[in-house]
Amino acid sequence: MTEWNRRTFLKSTAAAAGLAAVPGARALSAEHLAASQGHWSKLSLDDPLGVRDTFPVTKELAYLNTASVGPLAIPVRDALTAYAEEKMLYRDPGSRRAALERARRRFASLFGADPEEIALLFSTSDGENLVANAIDWRPGDNVVIDELHFTTAFVVFRELEKRAGVELRIVPPVDGRARPEDYAARTDGRTRLISVAWVSNRNGYRHDLPTLAEIAHARGGYLFADAIQAFGTFPTDLHAEGVDFACGNGYKWLFADFGCAPFYVRREHIEWMSPDRFGHGQVAETLPNHEYRLKDTAAKFEYANTSYGAVAAMDAALEFIAGVGLDRVAEHTHALAAELRKGAVDLGMELFTPPRNPSPIVSFYHGLEPDALSDALTAAGVRFTFQEQGRLLRAAVAMFNNREDVDRLLGVIARMV
């Protein structure tokens, strides 16, 4: 048994319980804490959530790279196969539209929205572009983002600066956090939008959306969340979060595929938001003289034929995730991420991820020669991501990961320091 496996479950439970002090994290009742202790006392078992056999990648790899691309689960593979067979044999073409509407309803139910507030786009970037292009910008308006945001936001809003004379204000991180007070200091009466990566792809920092929503709304602005690293990692209610718009994609923590990106638009914004492109998919009614009435739900942003294979994958993935339970997923992965953070610190690594951060992503500066570390981890069957020219190692623990996967990563580093 390795040094990492010898840690007591009480330390793990304390890490899990510590999440209750983090804004946005679910508080643990006495009963829940007792259940958590029982769960973590068994964490050395191979399959804490009973899902590893559903992810064949676990038989070969310590796959700690879901923040990049999540592997397919067997039910999702089966749904893609069934879609391909239907398209090949043309037995039930109506099943494609049925899967789209079913996926819309499943997503809304799982994440606290109404089906009418959900569009299924092609990418997360589509959502951010839709919001940016729908706002009636005036020269001198501003948008506030932070340095932990994904690249798309910088591209979108730098182009907006050139096109519309809008000022981009960027919040620097402090100790791995983009602090709400720093957002508040950069907003004013001309702030039309705050845009954040709800969970940062860089270090897993998780924003407190209700607080940011209050800041944006107090100035008459809106809040957009890039949720690609958030959807599927913790239970949430989009209505309660206060966010105006949120978009993610299926290929990471939803364990679906590329090409199906759920886009949430708070009901009160659907009427005034105009699509930034148009097509037959938006038509609700055909009128005389080639006139049309467009849909009056978020589906009005679905301007063309969707990627039905990706939708079939999303439908199956959402059903699977709902069966596992997002509360169980969060409890397991967030506490395992806390163990990974502690293990990295014990080895002398410098964390980029803040302590007690309620997300499954952990980033740290390893201080080793990147090529040598990459070769060693690859030889050990560990999948991860390097950032910042190899200086920063990002690991992501998913529902199928266990303590042995984390041990394998830390064990390789321990032999090299």
Range scoring the smallest mean pLDDT among 42-56, 158-172, 173-187, 393-407? 42-56
| Distance from C-alpha of 287 to C-alpha of 153, rounded to nearest angstrom | 38
- In 3D space, the residue among 19, 8, 71 whose CA is nearest the CA of residue 357 turns out to be 19
- In 3D space, the residue among 102, 81, 114, 94 whose CA is nearest the CA of residue 319 turns out to be 102
Position of tokens 């959807």?
231
pLDDT in tens, 293-340: 999 999 999 999 999 999 999 999 999 999 999 999 999 999 999 999
pLDDT at 30 over 50: no
- What predicted TM-score, i.e. pTM, was given to this entire model? 0.88
Mean pLDDT of 150-163: 96
pLDDT in tens, 254-299: 999 999 999 999 999 999 999 999 999 999 999 999 999 999 999 9
Predicted local confidence at residue 93, as pLDDT? 84
| Distance from C-alpha of 34 to C-alpha of 112, rounded to nearest angstrom | 27
- In 3D space, the residue among 34, 37, 51 whose CA is nearest the CA of residue 8 turns out to be 37
DSSP 8-state code for residue 383: E
* Helix, coil or strand: residue 361: strand
**How many Cβ atoms from other residues are within 10 Å of residue 274's Cβ?**
13
| Residue 388, token pair as written in the block | 């910042």
Q: What are 226's strand-pairing partners?
A: 197, 247
The alpha carbons of the chain give a radius of gyration, in whole angstroms, of 22
| Residue 38, token pair as written in the block | 């029982």
Phi and psi at 227, nearest 5°, equal -105, 20
Looking at residue 370, its amino acid is: P
* Helix, coil or strand: residue 84: helix
Secondary structure element (H or E) that encloses residue 146, with its range: strand 142-146
Secondary structure element (H or E) that encloses residue 197, with its range: strand 191-197
| Distance from C-alpha of 194 to C-alpha of 143, rounded to nearest angstrom | 6
Secondary structure element (H or E) that encloses residue 154, with its range: helix 151-164
What are the chain's domains? 9-44+325-416 (3.90.1150.10), 76-323 (3.40.640.10)
